[in-house]
């Protein structure tokens, strides 16, 4: 697969590029928004955005990073769209994790599902995917301070939830 060919619009190269990165796109979006139809929509939007924008990709960063950024933005847009329409209620999302998911992941999903979209994305990108607050701020086009405050809120909420669980177990 040639990236240059993909940038020139070669269909086979674009096809190969999308297929190569699709699992990572799906994984990032699932972490940021959860599984389900909303995630599928964000995946589709990401693929379309990649095809739309590939000709303008300058190669300043690895193509994977560029695609990842698009995926995060689409996940973020998807979560925000719905959150704007239906105000987030912490207790509302009780959807179970996928049956195939490992117990550890399912446990994480259950906790992530209780975070607001803003906190979830900040936490996932920083603590799960390892991006810096500055990188997240650039990706989401929000101030770095906002990322930090959302991250702190997410961490505190998660710690509190885990502590509550530990107390319940004991």
Using alpha carbons, list the distances in angstroms from residue 75 to 7, 10, 54, 139, 144.
24, 27, 19, 12, 19
Q: Is-contact 56 11, C-beta < 8 A?
A: no
Angle of helix 37-53 relative to helix 11-33, nearest 10 degrees, comes to 140
Q: Which is nearer to other proteins, 2 or 44 (CB)?
A: 44
Q: Tell me the per-residue interface mask from 18 to 57 with other proteins, x by CB under 8 A, - otherwise.
A: xx--x---xx-xxx---x-x-xxx-xxx-xx-xxx-----
Least Å distance, CB 137 to other proteins, is 17
Can you tell me the distance from the alpha carbon of 58 to that of 66, in angstroms, rounded to the nearest whole number? 10
- Smallest distance, other proteins to C-beta of residue 155, A: 5
- Within residues 70-129, the interface with other proteins by CB under 8 A covers 77, 81-82, 84-87, 92, 94-95, 98, 100-102, 104-109, 111-112, 124, 126-128
CB 57 within 8 A of CB 15: no
62 binds other proteins (CB under 8 A): no
Extract the tokens encoding 113: 């599902």
The one segment of 63-71, 134-142, 150-158 that binds other proteins by CB under 8 A = 150-158
- For residue 129, the 8-state DSSP code is T
Which residues lie closer than 8 Å to 112 by C-beta, 6 or more apart? 31, 34, 120, 123, 124
132 sits near other proteins (criterion: CB under 8 A): no
- By CB under 8 A, is residue 130 in contact with other proteins? yes
Token pair in block for residue 37: 């139809």
Positions touching other proteins (CB under 8 A) are 9, 11, 14-15, 18-19, 22, 26-27, 29-31, 35, 37, 39-41, 43-45, 47-48, 50-52, 77, 81-82, 84-87, 92, 94-95, 98, 100-102, 104-109, 111-112, 124, 126-128, 130, 152, 155-156, 158-159, 162-163, 165-166
């Amino acid at each position: 697969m040639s990236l240059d060919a993909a940038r020139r619009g070669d269909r086979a190269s674009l096809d190969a590029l999308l297929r190569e990165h699709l699992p990572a796109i799906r994984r990032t979006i699932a972490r940021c928004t959860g599984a389900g139809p909303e995630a599928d929509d964000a995946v589709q939007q990401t693929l379309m955005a990649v095809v739309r924008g590939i000709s303008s990709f300058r190669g300043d960063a690895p193509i994977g990073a560029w695609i990842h950024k698009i995926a995060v933005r689409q996940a973020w847009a998807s979560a925000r769209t719905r959150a704007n329409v239906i105000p987030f209620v912490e207790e509302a999302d009780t959807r179970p994790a996928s049956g195939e998911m490992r117990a550890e992941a399912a446990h994480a999903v259950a906790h992530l599902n209780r975070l607001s979209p803003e906190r979830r994305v900040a936490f996932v990108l920083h603590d799960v995917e390892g991006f810096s607050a500055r990188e997240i701020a650039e990706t989401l086009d929000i101030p770095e301070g906002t990322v930090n405050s959302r991250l702190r809120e997410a961490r505190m909420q998660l710690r509190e939830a885990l502590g509550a669980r530990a107390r319940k177990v004991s």
